[in-house]
Each structure stands twice: as C-alpha cells, then as structure tokens.
Amino acid sequence: MRKICLPPLVLQKIIPSKTTDHYNNPRNVGSLPKNDMDVGTGLVGAPACGDVMKLQIRVDKNTNTISEVKFKTFGCGSAIASSSYLTELVRGMSLEDAGRIRNTEIAKELCLPPVKLHCSMLAEDAIKSAIKDYQTKSNRGPPTLGKNLL
Amino acid sequence: MTTTAKVVRCAARFSRSHFASPLRPAATTVRRALTAQLQHRCISSSGKNEEAAVKVDVENRRIDTSNFMNKTGMKPSEVDVGNRLTADAMMSPSAGILKQATIMDEGSRPIYLDMQATTPMDPRVLDAMLPFYTGLYGNPHSRTHAYGWETEKAIDVARGHIAKLIGADPKEIIFTSGATESNNMSIKGVARFYKSKRHIVTSQTEHKCVLDSCRHLQDEGYEITYLPVKSNGLIDLEQLEKEIRPDTALVSIMTVNNEIGVIQPMEEIGKLCRKKGVFFHTDGAQAVGKIPVDVGKWNVDLMSISGHKVYGPKGIGACYIRRRPKVRIDPLISGGGQERGLRSGTLAPPLVIGFGEACRIAKEEIDYDHKRVTALANRLQSGLLAMEHTTLNGDANARYPGCVNVSFAYVEGESLLMALKDVALSSGSACTSASLEPSYVLRALGSSDESAHSSIRFGIGRFTTEAEIDYVLKAVRDRVTVLREMSPLWELVQEGVDLNTIEWSQH
C-alpha cells in the first residue's frame, strides 16, 4: 500500500501532553495509615470549589527525607495531574526542599493554562500542609493514654 | 444525467476539493488523479429536484473510480490516504460518509450524547437544501423575475412546515438567525414597543440569552423579576401570579430547560398570562420537534425556535409572533422591511428550506422519535441511577426524556468528562462550558455546589442507538469507580465521616 498524507478527515489526534499523561496514568494514588507517627497528611481545598487534594508523606526520620508519598484528589484533570506530578517531584526530597516547591514549577512543567493555575497552587498548599502536619505530630510526640482519655 | 444530478454532483465535488488540495509532492500521480476529478466541474440550474440522490452517488462513484484507475493504474481501495482511510472513501461523498461512520463505530470518534447543544443534520434535510446552494440562487425578495419567485415559493412552503409543527399560521413565523436572536427580539422588542409597561417576569433557570437580554433592559431602566424555581426545576404558579403587576409587559418562561430537561406547565402559565393581560414569551428551542407544541392551546404569544436543535442546519431559527390578538414588537434589525418589517435582511434560502424540511420530518416522526428516545433514556437513566450516590436533577415526571442530568457524588464533573473521552458530553450548557463556575441552573434548584460540580448531562436524540447507550453506561460505571477510588471525599465517606463537619480551607 502506498502512503500519502492528507489532512485527517476524521479527527486530529491530540498530542499527548504531560497533563493528559499524568491524568491517564496517575502516579502514587492511594493512602498511607494516617495515624502512623512518621506520616504527615495534608487535606486542602473544598468540595464547594470543586477541588480537594489529600497528600500523604512518610518521612524517614534519620535522613529527614520523604520516603513514600501518596495522593487522592477530587477535582478536574489538571488538579489530578498536578498532584500526580507533585508526588513524583517530592519523593526522595528533604523536607526543607519540598517545602520550597513553588506552584509555578508545577504549572510550568505541566503547561497549565491560566484558568488552571489554582490547581498548582493547591498542590503547593497540599505539600506544605502535609509537612506541617508531620512536624506538629513529631513535635508533640506519641499520644499518651491520659491525653486520649481527655 | 439529469440536471438535478449535475447540481448535486457539482456540490459534492466542490466539497471534496477541500481536502484533496494540500497533498505531499511525493504522491503526485495520485494527487493529480484526485484533483483532476475536481476540474471538470459544471454549473447548471435545475427545475426538478425529485430525483433520488442515491442514484447520483452510485453513478458518481463509478465515474470517479474509473477516472482514478485510468490515471494511477491502482485501485482506489489500495491507496492509503492516512487515518485508516483508503482513497476508496473519497470516490463519492456518500461512500466517504459511510466509511467515516464505520470508523466512528470502532470508537475513534466519540459517541455523541450532547443533543441539547446541537443535533446532527438529518441527511434528508441536506438533500432538500443542496439545490438552493447551486441552481436555485434567486433572492427570495426579488419580485421581478422567476429566480426570485421560485425561491420565494420554496420559502413559503418551509414557513408552512414550521407553522404546522407548532400549530400556528405561516404568517406568524419570522425567520431569524437562531433562537438567541429570537429571544432577544421578543424580549427587547416587546419591552421597547410597549414603553408604558416597565416590568418583565422571567425565571432563574432561563437560557443565558434570555437572562442577558433582561439584564440589558435593566440597564435601560426596566424592572425584572427573576422567578426562583422549586427544587424540581419547575416554577411556582402561585408565585408567578403574585409577581405579575399592572405594569408587567411580558412573562418569559422556557418550555423545556436545556440543562435539566424539565417541562414547565405551559398551559397553566398561558392561561394565567391571558387572564392578567400580559404577553407570554417562551423559549421553545429545546421543545419544538421533540414534544408536541401547540401555541394556540398554550396561549403563547411569542416563541423562539432554533433550526439546529431539530436536526436542521445551524444559523437559522424562527420567532413565532401571534397575530390575533396582535403582538407588536420594536424590531432589532431595521432595513429593507423583509419579514413583515420585523426582521430586515435577505433570507438565506438554503437554511430556511433546510429548517422547513427538518420541521416537516419532525412533525411526521415526532411520535416515533419520542417513543424511541424515551425507551433509550429509560435504559440510560435506570442504569445510571442504579449506581450508588447518584441523583437525577430536575423533576422525574414533567420532563423531556432526551435530557438526562445526573449528579455523581464525590466525583468532579470535569474530570469525569475528561475520563469519558470516548463520549461527547457536557456538564451543562455549551455556552458556559468554558468557565469553571458550577451550573447556575443547578444552583437555582438549590443543589449544593458539590453536587453542581459533579453533574453531567446526557442528551439522546434521533440517531442515538441502543448499543451506544450500553457502551456509555458501562464506560460511566467503570470511570466513576476509578475516579471515586482516587477521591479523598469518597474515602472519607466510606470511613463514615460527615463531610459537612470538616472545616475546608476555602480558596
């Protein structure tokens, strides 16, 4: 068969972008046991706004780096892609570095359009909130029997 | 070959020249063969148009194929033109369409379930339109020669078909560019003509063009009452009666809602408006041709109709304006005084005739179509509602079945749409699908932002098949499950947490 090129009659194939790739194959979906002492959980966003992101990190105490990370997201495709990309980005990072991640980094990598910038901001909030949760947990120490009874 | 056949062939070939031109030089012979066929085009006028178009296509195909083989020495079916199509598909327009249809069945084109946004044009409509693009090109307003007369005659026939479909007199039909223009014309026209009356009543769930026309009148100093709707999407008649004042000029309530498909109690509203002596306008774009419409029985004074929602062409619509008792409007467009001076500008005969033909078919097949759409919709609706945490938006009984709007709790609508790439759907009206705001119609029903964010509209029409519905049902079930697995809200609910007790950080 000879091949000639004509403008497609049917549908132009959409070039798979990073966003669609992360949306179609989201990395690190799932949950970590939130009561573990070395797990920090960040839950940001609101259902009324159409975006909720839950990010969980497990921190290696000795090296102070993120050893495991999981997410669950309720939101548009960009929100899911942002959180999926974020989990890939922060795994193995030290807490200091992870706390310094800016939303612009995520938006730039995924080529998010202006109307979807809030998705990357939510991802930034999620990792910050997860780190904060871990730090309060480890500062407070394990829950005592007395505290629980109160 | 008959003259009609020539006209149809010319038109078909003209359309083909579109995709045959930008070829790569590597395939010169094939390109020459394909383009050569576009050269010997002819122009001729025609008087008769009763010839069957199928015969023409068969003949066309035979000639095109033999020309192609003479030039290239290859069978068209052996030449790959990309996109899983062979040159065979380009040999005659109908063959090409059929070929594309098979590819659609294989799933490379999404299943179309967005019939409220627009409907595909019925092929019978195109057949009626084609002669008016080529041979019969007279200006229908030319009274001095036969070209004008023949077009005018065809337009009158089309006008008759539209009038018959809604139970009106042909003289009461004014052609416009679409339902948006008709709505603007009716609302602004009545308000501006009856200047002493400064009040208009409409509902919160109207189409954007009605709401925006009202907003515009508000700036001109008119008072507008936006009637709230009950949680089932229907208006409260008692409340409507209370809102009508002595200086109310117009009540505008749509027949079938474009997002949730509920049918307002038209007869009762009409009776009330007649009793109170106010004009009653209705946006019938989603109703005409789908449910029985009778402007006489409903006491409707003005009605907006759209061509592309009844399997007709885009860019054409009509406005019904009652003559007895006479409704007078201030025209939006001034000029040559066409359409009884209410909408100046030369009519577009091919569109008008296509619209008329679409209405004729709709009138003939309305019972069959309605029965079929109802059966398909029931299948879809019961399948979707069988999933847990799903709700139907809008009244369950007073509705056009072809519009099924369902909320899938704990799944975001936009991500579900993205997951359902193989189905063409919408989370609301096409006009607002670019914004991130949840649908104002669902908000007006009193549904929470969460459920408005997770709703999807399924539109079923004349050409939807049972196999398509089954495919969509399965796809929705699968994807909703995947997305719920990914949703933190679903996880919380499964753990037994009440989402309202959580303090969410607002953005």
Residues facing residue A54 across a β-bridge: A43, A72
E-strand ranges in B278-422 read 279-283, 302-306, 317-321, 390-392, 403-408
The C-alpha atoms of residue B72 and residue B79 are separated, in whole angstroms, by: 10
Residue indicated by tokens 């670019």: B434
Start and end residues for every CATH 3.90.1150.10 domain found in chain B: 366-494
All residues of chain B having their beta carbon less than 8 Å from the beta carbon of residue A77 are 414-415, 418
Task: Verify whether the Cβ–Cβ distance A47 to B24 is below 8 Å.
Answer: no
At B355-382, the pLDDT tens digits run 999 999 999 999 999 999 999 999 999 9
Write out the CATH class of domain B366-494. alpha beta
Q: Across the interface, do B415 and A1 touch by the CB < 8 Å criterion?
A: no
| Residue A24 backbone dihedrals phi, psi, to 5 degrees | -70, -40
Are the Cβ atoms of B504 and A7 closer than 8 angstroms? no
Q: Is A69 helix (H, G, I), strand (E, B) or coil?
A: strand
Q: Is the pLDDT of residue B41 over 50?
A: no
Beta-strand pair B302-306/B317-321: antiparallel
Q: Which residue of B has its CA nearest to A44?
A: B505
Residue B80: closest C-alpha in chain A: A3
CB-CB neighbors (< 8 A) of A47 in chain B? 449-450, 453, 489, 499, 504
Contacts B78 to A, Cβ<8 Å: 1-2
Q: Which residue in chain A is spatially nearest to B78 when comparing CA positions?
A: A1
Tell me the pLDDT band of B434, cut-offs 50, 70 and 90. Answer: low
What is the phi-psi region of residue A148: left when phi exceeds 0, alpha when psi lies from -120 to 50, beta otherwise? alpha
Let me know how long chain B is.
507
Active site residue A5: no
Q: Give the pLDDT mean for B182-188.
A: 97
pLDDT digits (tens, 9 = 90+) for B259-291: 999 999 999 999 999 999 999 999 999 999 999
One DSSP character per residue, B116-161 reads TT--PPPHHHHHHHGGGTTT----TT--SSHHHHHHHHHHHHHHHH
Give contacts of A8 with chain B, Cβ < 8 Å.
82-83
Q: How far is A79 from chain B (nearest CA, A)?
A: 9
| Chain B residues within an 8 Å CB radius of A7 | 19, 22
**Average pLDDT of the segment spanning B12-22:** 39
- Taking only the tens place, the pLDDT of each residue in B438-484 is 788 998 998 887 788 889 999 999 999 999 999 999 999 999 999 99
Q: State the catalytic residues of B.
A: 431
CB B224 within 8 A of CB B218: yes
- pLDDT mean across residues, chain B: 84
CB contact under 8 A, A9 and B96: yes
Cβ distance A50 to B449 less than 8 Å, yes or no, reads yes
pLDDT for B150 equals 95
| Residue A23, min C-alpha distance to chain B (Å) | 9
Contact A77 B22 (CB under 8 A): no
The domains of chain A, with CATH numbers, are 18-135 (3.90.1010.10)
Q: What would the pLDDT profile of B286-334 be if each residue is shown by its tens digit? A: 999 999 999 999 999 999 999 999 999 999 999 999 999 999 999 999 9
Residue B423, both tokens: 């189905």
Strand A2-3 relative to strand B79-80: parallel, antiparallel, unpaired?
parallel
- Pairwise CA distance, residues B210 & B282, whole Å: 10
Q: Give the nearest partner residue to A6 out of B23, B453, B507, using CB atoms.
A: B23
Q: Where in chain B is the domain with CATH 3.40.640.10?
A: 125-362
Q: What is the pLDDT of residue B22?
A: 38
Amino acid in the structure at residue B268: E
Q: How far is B228 from chain A (nearest CA, A)?
A: 21
Contact B194, B207 (CB under 8 A): no
ipTM surpasses cut 0.85: no
| Whether the model pTM is above 0.95 | no
Contact A29 B485 (CB under 8 A): yes
Cis peptide bond N-terminal to B325, omega within 30: yes
Flag whether pLDDT at B15 surpasses 70.
no
Place of tokens 């919160």: B204
Q: Closest Cα of chain B to A47: distance in Å?
A: 5
Phi-psi region of B188 (alpha: psi -120 to 50; beta: other; left: phi over 0): alpha
- B411 interaction partners in chain A (CB closer than 8 Å): 74
Position with higher pLDDT, B390 vs B19: B390
Task: For B180-217, give the DSSP string.
Answer: HHHHHHHHHHHHHHSTT--EEEEETTS-HHHHHHHHHH
* Beta bridge partners of residue A74, listed in sequence order: A52
Those residues of chain A whose CB sits closer than 8 Å to some CB in chain B are 1-11, 23, 26, 29, 31, 43-54, 72-77, 79-80, 115, 118, 121-122, 125
Residue of chain A whose Cα is closest to the Cα of B29 = A4
End-to-end CA separation in angstroms for chain A? 80
Token pair for residue B485?
């697995």
Structure tokens at B398: 């007073």
Contact A45 B96 (CB under 8 A): no
Distance (Å, whole) CA B99 – CA B107: 13
Residue B447: what pLDDT? 81
> Which pLDDT does position B71 carry in this prediction?
75
Strand partners, B306: B317
pLDDT at residue B191, rounded to an integer: 96
- Hey, what CATH class is B125-362 in? alpha beta
Give A79 or B77, the one with higher predicted confidence: A79
Interface test with B, best of A1, A3, A9, A115 (most B CBs within 10 A): A9
- Chain A residues closer than 8 Å to B26 by CB: 4
Whether residue B34 has pLDDT greater than 50: no
DSSP labels, B90-103: GSSHHHHHHHHHHH
